[in-house]
Amino acid sequence: MPTLSLPADLRLDRSRHAAPQVFEKLRELIVSLELKPGAPLARAELAEAFGLSQTPIRDALIQLRDEGLVDIFPQHTTVVSRIDIAAARQAHFLRRSLELEIVRMLAERDDPALVERLRAHIDRQRANRGAGRYQAFLDADRAFHREMHQAAGVAGLWELEQRYSGHVDRLRRLHLPEEGKAERIVRDHQRIVDAVARHDAAGAQEALREHLSGTLSQVDEICERYPEFVRR
């Protein structure tokens, strides 16, 4: 089995519990596809890489298993799970249902400061289009959607969505390099904000619905291109 490949810098904040930090770092590596589906996650190697005992590593892997991002085979091995298409569709359904209501709420308000903050996130995305800047682009994308949740007073639901988003987020990461995809995301975000700014709730919902349908509408093509990464 291949040796685990991890970034050189895995420093932890010693003022915080170790297991949640290991979970966060491994989850980020999995969702960004730096750790690809099928990659082995040996506890001993992870413990050495993080400079920890195996106990916090075990706890982090259990949490990743609970999110469906790793498969644990007792007394054998742990591997990064394949992308579960059914789980991705359920996460998409949850997010779309919540965000349709969120943009309706925001469009019914008069909040110029929010509109400016959302446009600032779009500017960050626009500045980070192109190969080599995918992670910064996706960070700005998440910040845009998180900003809307916070403005609607449902920040806790953003955290809930994130616990179910690992599979669909990996699909989006596979889809992002497609020519024109980043530009479409920026355009969709701009349409959502413009509708919110003019208090057009129906227009904001229409723009959001189109925006969130992009990756899932291409799932068959993604599966054909990356058959070793997916589980249907």
What pLDDT, in 10s, does the model give residues 85-139? 999 999 999 999 999 999 999 999 999 999 999 999 999 999 998 877 888 999 9
CATH of the domain at 117: 1.20.120.530
Listed in sequence order, the residues at least 6 apart from 20 whose beta carbon sits closer than 8 Å to its beta carbon are: 60
pLDDT at 1: 45
Q: What percent of the chain clears pLDDT 90, i.e. is strictly above it? A: 82
pLDDT at 3: 57
For residues 57, 59, 64, 65, the Cα torsion angle rounded to the nearest 10 degrees is 120
Same domain, 140 and 212: yes
Taking Cα atoms as reference points, which of 208, 206, 187 lies closest to residue 125? 187
161 contact partners, CB below 8 Å, separation of at least 6? 91, 94, 95, 98
Structural domain span for residue 42:
18-81
207 and 98 share one domain: yes
- Strands 70-73, 230-231: parallel, antiparallel or unpaired by DSSP? unpaired
Does residue 212 form part of some domain?
yes
**Domain annotation covers residue 22:** yes
- Which of helix, strand or coil describes residue 59? helix
> Of the residues 81, 100, 126, which one is the last residue of a structural domain?
81
190 and 89 inside one domain: yes
